[in-house]
Copies of this chain bind each other. A is one copy, B any other.
Amino acid sequence: MTLPEEPNLAIVGATGAVGRELMNLLIERRFAHGRLRLLASARSAGRLLPYCGTSLAVEELTERSFADIDLAFFSAGGAISRQYAPAAVEAGAIVIDNSSAFRMDDDVPLIVPEINGNGLARFSGPAIIANPNCSTIIALMAATPLHRAATVKRMVISTYQAASGAGAAWMAELQQQALDHAAGTPYTMRTTGRQLLFNVFSHNSPLGPEGYNEEEMKLLRETRKIWSDESVLISATCVRVPVLRAHSAAINLTFARPLDEQEAHRVLAEAPGLRVVDDRAANRFPEPIDADGKDDVLVGRIRSDISQAPGMGMDMFVSGDQLRKGAALNALQIAEMLP
């Protein structure tokens, strides 16, 4: 099965932050398509969303929503994907799933186009393709070129993750808290349950028996699958920071073979989807506000790790738009690569 020239599309979770970003990207990247069906919960049904100068009504997601759909983007959380993605596949659609529901399934490809998109040329649906987690995508965009050059044996990652990763309501509440601060009123915590403004805290996903939270374990498991390398070691600390929509991460790498700083710069500068921002004299490096709304992941603070044998380790800092490359853009790039 190959996609028709102008596939009929569905977006599950159209009212969410990723769904809306995907609609922007369909227009921006001139993704040729037939019908576009916006799906969400019954609560949002009938709501009109602007699209390409007109408005489209949101429809209630049911198992019958996919009758004439060729390609369905899911971005409404794992439970919705688990419940409805099989129905979409049953109806003949290719599903590109942004949730974690199927990522680790053996028969589901987990794809970052620049890294392991090759396999898609032979992909035949109807079936599910999984989009990795946002912090995995953003970290691997920078780590993979160095992995290819020197084989990464171990990574220590500390993240600086934006509110958008928890959804549009968190972004709104972070902004509301700035208004509350200005008004001198107590912080609104309806959605988040916590103070985001002027604060940082450990990622709000449940912790497993080893003391790592789900976000951290995704970084490990998804990297191993994307790199087809079960031996890579990762210890991650995932932290929320009061930033709107771009994730950052400090990444410390240990190599199997030496790689000097100049070569690392060259390899990163040549990597697609990556932009080196590394001006030591001006003290200018990746910042989330500069990655905001951009397709490229920014990488900088590239330096040989002074705590490892010369050339055997590298440090760097990345920022990438969580809603774009971390989610909607990566999903659409997958669609663009489908035969």
Contacts and interface: CB of A to CB of B under 8 A. Distances in A.
Interface residues of A, number: 58
Tallying the copies of this chain within the complex gives: 2
Interface string A284-315: 01011100000000001111111110000101
Interface stretch (A1-9, A136-144, A244-252): A244-252
Contacts of A158: 158, 237, 250
Interface stretch (A72-80, A87-95, A191-199, A326-334): A191-199
A183 interface: yes
B211 A237 contact: no
Interface in A258-305: 261, 280, 283, 285, 287-289, 300-305
Contacts of A313: 235
Contacts of A195: 289
Contacts of A198: 174, 178, 242-244, 288-289
A174 B288 CA distance: 16
A241 B160 contact: yes
17 contacts: A156-B307, A178-B178, A198-B243, A200-B248, A200-B288, A202-B285, A211-B302, A211-B315, A233-B307, A234-B307, A235-B313, A237-B315, A237-B317, A239-B248, A239-B250, A239-B317, A242-B242
